[in-house]
Amino acid sequence: MKRSLLIFSISIFVIFFSFSDVFAQFYVGPYIGFVTSGLKGAGQVSENGQVSNTNTIADGGSNSFTAGVTVGYQIIPPEITAGLYKLDLNIDASWASFNYFENAYNSSEGAGKFSADGLSGGGTTVISIDIMPMHRFHFRNFILSPYAGIGLGIDIMSTADITVGPPSETGTITGNSETKFGLLLFYGTLFNISENFQPFIQFKHFIPFGSESTFTQSYQLANGGGSESLAYSVQDVPGFFTLSAGVRFSF
């Protein structure tokens, strides 16, 4: 009995991977686009554990160019579903940069105050990794292949150090790094130019789990006077909206 079960299991394993070799299809390709983040909410400063400015509204909303690469694996090709449906397992990895801290500082303290107070730097780099099960309709002899789905977004946010100069007391505010997970909604369409070359246009909405972004963590005076804890955060994170276009090269 055990031997028969083992033989049956091995047979299913071989059939599955033989089926995958025949029908599955890998693809990879670059894309570029535009991403916007409307970061606006209660600004908060925590200095050595003492919280202040909790009622200040900070608008750190920013726009950015984005560039990335898409990699995927087509696991249900149209041959299985009478030419109507495909299922792709897709991962997008992309880069973008935002002026969150500067924008939030200016909105709280007054237009142009970031530079006027001797501050520079502080840009936030976001590396996004999007896991996307992609449900796609495929119509024979029709150029468009629309798709949609719900996935998991992982955003690695890193704010650069902020240099402080005159008229403020000179020093360095150390930037903070954090990782955000969130719900990803996406939709778009491929253009069926050929089996191996498919341009696409895509829309994505990233809705993070949680409600706060922290940009700084300490302040080191330039004169050797020691450092202090200094956390600047915005307490509302609406996420990102991305419009991008790229191309798939299938193998």
Nearest to 125 by CA among 150, 160, 81, 149: 160
| pLDDT average, residue stretch 6-18 | 39
| pLDDT average, residue stretch 19-31 | 71
Q: What is the mean pLDDT of the chain?
A: 86
In this prediction, residue 211 has a pLDDT band, given cuts at 50, 70 and 90, of confident
Residue 24's pLDDT is: 52
- Is the distance from CB of 60 to CB of 103 less than 8 angstroms? yes
172's tokens: 């360095």
What is the Cα–Cα distance from 125 to 147, expressed in whole angstroms? 29
Q: Under 8 Å CB-to-CB from 17, ≥6 apart: which residues?
A: none
Residue at token pair 């919280």: 51
Q: Please name the helix (run of DSSP H) or strand (run of DSSP E) that holds residue 39, with its range, or none.
A: none
Q: CA–CA distance from 200 to each of 18, 41, 193 (Å)?
A: 30, 34, 10
Residue 77's pLDDT is: 61
- 108-121 pLDDT, tens digit each: 889 999 999 999 99
Determine what percent of the chain is predicted with pLDDT higher than 70.
86
What is the Cα–Cα distance from 250 to 85, expressed in whole angstroms? 17
What is the Cα–Cα distance from 190 to 73, expressed in whole angstroms? 15
Judged against a pLDDT cut of 90, whether residue 49 lies above it is answered with no
- 159-176 pLDDT, tens digit each: 999 999 999 889 999 999
Query: pLDDT higher for 243 or 47?
Result: 243
In this prediction, residue 76 has a pLDDT band, given cuts at 50, 70 and 90, of confident
| pLDDT average, residue stretch 88-101 | 96
Q: Which domains does the chain carry?
A: 23-250 (2.40.160.20)
